Structure 1
Amino acid sequence: MIRPVPHVGAMAAYALADLGDQQTISLAQNESAFPASPAAIAAGKAAMGELPLYPDPDWPDLRAAIAQVHGLDPARILCGAGSMELIGCLIRAYAGPGDRVLGTDYGYAFVASASAQVQADYIKAREVDLTVSIDDILDAVTPETRIVFVCNPGNPTGTLIPNSDIQRLREGLPADVMLVIDQAYAEFSDQTHNPAEIFALTDRGDTVVLRTFSKAYGLAGARVGWGYFPPEIASELRKLLNPNNISIAAQAAASAAMRDQPHMKNVVSRTAEIRDRFAHDCQSLGLAVPESHTNFVLLRFASVEDAQRADAALRADNLLMRGMGGYGLSDCLRATICQAPIMDRCLTALKGVLR
């Protein structure tokens, strides 16, 4: 029998969402409720004629589009097959056996899987009221800590801490500890939390900011993520990135999507309107719903049994939310915001259980 290396054999596979069957409407993946920009779709289709060629490994037009919109240096932008690729490469480049990667109670679970791949220990700092606690992160840092990951806004909580807290965290961390700020949902909070303040932290040489096209831009299927890096870290990451990681069509679609900021902002606004109305209606049913700054809401039930009954009622109507047992939140379901008629169906199913 051919056996894997011991630490891979001992790993659990990364837990993907249950998507049900073909009749199921999934509210489990945090995909966009609305289509991508028409300009992005047209650009992706137009690029299909170039498929005999390998994609450009430097993503020149995509980097230029990102840099123009955010006022960044394109040379410090790296793109990945989703932000997952960038996270995995960061951990492979800067952590190994005996090192610690520090996240938080409800941080992105893939960071734990990527840490296990390099035999680094993944440690969680406590969150307070489902919100990242800077003091608890700083208290959890040890001499073995190499990387700190913070999701802001958080997933699966949807909660948000101010930029001043992120800045205080960076000031409090040792200079040899990398801070990675995962902003997969930042487009939902950019209007109130100046993104330039967070990108500026990369000038220190010890901080990375990650973003994605999978949420607000509606390009989850294209698998495009990006990050802003100090030059020294970017050069090390380049050694590990697949040199042809983003297809020609995906690069073209993402470039056009980034340049169509009015479409993205309209999607964010429409999503937030549906989200806030659904959250208010769920609170009226007695559910605890943290204020969300994302395209989903976390629903906390009075008991694990109530959450299970709600899940069963939703499934009976071919609706599927994400169970949160893997995060230690078995009394919760996470609901991706879909278009209003679907959220109304969810509310009807929840009413049948809770009333």
Structure 2
Amino acid sequence: MKIEVPDLGAARPLSVVICARNEALNLREYLSVVLEQDYPVYEVVVVNDRSWDGTEEMLKDFGTRYKHLKIVNIADGEKFIAGKKFAVTMGIKAAQYEWLVFTDADCMPASANWLKGMQQPADEQTEFILGYSPYLKRRGILNALIRFETFFTAVNYLSFALKGMPYMGVGRNMAYKKAVFFKNKGFAAHMHIPSGDDDLFVNANAGKHNTQIRIHKDTQVWSEPNTSFGAYLKQKKRHFGAGKLYKGKHKFILSCQIVFQFLFYAFLIALMFFKPALYIALGIFALSIIIRCFIYPRLLKRLNYGGLSIWFPLLDILLFIFLVFNGIVSIFVKKVQWK
């Protein structure tokens, strides 16, 4: 595993792949930022996946102004396999360059140097780059919870990658070689589930020696967060389903994290029912907060969530409650889809 400063002198051609299903509003706002990157040779492949909101017409308009935009339209019909994985596969097949950079229609690169940071490294051994994609700040406790959960997830997958055990990436900001996709038969192993075009592909094919990470502020991609609890729950259910197909060692480690967190809060609650132990419970909780006060604020600031520093004790509890609730709901609600 390597974490390097990108070589801004190198600039091999690359293809950006974006899948869009009824994303006309987001494309109008964010696509131009992707198309106007400070990078010499690249194309942007946008896959219009059966949209009916005017996405196709909007992309045609963009195409008249940006010659490096390539549009792939997927028609609605029985012969097509519905879902984002099919759309991503069509985008990859249409891409003319070997190095592929992925993002979503509701995402905005943090700077014009995004592609310089996500470009193919000089080291040919590197086949994956895992980037970071924070969510935009909006009003409300749901937005704070979403951003804190994103922070927690990012710290997990980026730190594991640094230790030589990459287990996931986010499709809002990642890159890999086209040859890796076809050599490993794309998404064939998990085409039957709607999620996992990003994390399951990384989990199966990224390793200690072929993966780098990028967290520099210029290489980040900002994303629009869900604005309703229902939409957020639906998104996390998809992720929960993909996690069941992780490698055994990854599932074990991630499960241990959840179990230890559950036992921590369960132990605290149990102690609070016994009056003599109440102060012990409060002391343990206070100690855990003090310890994390030396860790979380610096990480939150580095990952562009500095404003959450004073709220993390409350958000940590809320996130735990949500994860337990999501796990229970995911057991009984099986059917999920992309859009």
Asked if TM exceeds 0.5, the reply is no
TM-score bucket of the superposed structures, by smaller chain: under 0.3
After TM superposition, the score normalised by the length of structure 2 is 0.26
After TM superposition, the score normalised by the length of structure 1 is 0.25
